[in-house]
Structure formats: C-alpha cells, structure tokens
Amino acid sequence: MTGNGELKSILENMEHESMIKLVMELEERTGNGTVADMARDIAKEDLGKRMSPEAIHNRVSWAISMCDEDFYSQIGEGRYGYISPYDAAHDMIVAGIADEFLQDAKMLVEMGRDDDLELFIHSIADGLRDSYSILTEWSPDTTTELAENLVECLKDGCPLEGFDW
C-alpha cells in the first residue's frame, strides 16, 4: 500500500488526540499558516454539513430512537428502586440529546459562531418537536419541554445550560 491509501489507513487508526498533534506538527514544520488555514477550512465545511437543519433533524431522531426491548429492559425494579417508564424515557431523551449535540454546541461557542449556534439550537428544538419514538410515547411532553428549555437558555445567553436539564 502506498501513497494516499497508506495515509488513509494510518489516519483511520489514529486516536483523536494524535490527529490533533499531527496537524499541529505539520503547521509548526511549515510555519506559514497554510496547514492551519486548510485544516480550518475543511473542518468548517465538515461542520456545516453536520449542522444543516436536515442533518440535525436526522440526528435528533437517531438520538432518541430505541427499540422496545431496550427500553423495557431499563424500567421496573432496579438497583435504586422502581424506575417508572416516564422517568426512564425522560432521562434517556435528555441524555441522548446531550450526548449527540453538546460537543458541537461547545465548539460553536468557543469559535464565537453565534449565528450558527442559534440555527443549531433552533434546529435541534424543531427536530425535538417533530420526533417520535417509544421514548416519546412514555414521556410525551419531554421533547417539547426540552426544546423550549434549549431555546430559552439560548435567549438567556447560556446555551450550554440547555443541555443540562
């Protein structure tokens, strides 16, 4: 294997932190900002694809989807007492959305991309309002309330707190 095939194989097997070090080392060796500019442009393009309203809507659906068997295995008698279907569904919806979207929201905040963050949060909220799964059957108000909380926290200037609900 040579050329791009070998490079692709190496990159596919690298840990996240190692990739960051690789890009930073390339930037340091070239010293002219070209690598950093190219990496930034490619990352923004990739980020834009993942953050389109349609892509976000699909990610919301995925984040709160669960098969019936998996859901029912999470309820009932547990180590800490009885877990109601409503409580389990509520917790799984909130955790699923935070797990799927919090890191992207943090990145937008750190980059100062307020307009993109606003579109991102509103797209998540729209996806939540339109979503359906076994979780929403058992906790039908959670998606609407979470959507309202995300938008409210955005308006209050603390968008990341909306994920910790």
What is the DSSP code (8-state) at residue 82? E
Question: Residue 162: is its pLDDT beyond 60?
Answer: yes
Question: Any bridge partners for residue 82, and if so which?
Answer: 77
Predicted local confidence at residue 46, as pLDDT? 72
For residue 16, what pLDDT band results from cuts at 50, 70 and 90?
Answer: confident
Please tell me the pTM assigned to this model.
0.73
The fraction of the chain above a pLDDT of 90, given in percent, is 47
Taking 90 as the threshold, does the pLDDT of residue 3 lie above it? no
Q: For residue 130, what are the contacts with CB-CB under 8 A and spacing of at least 6?
A: 57
**Band of residue 2 on the pLDDT scale cut at 50, 70, 90:** low
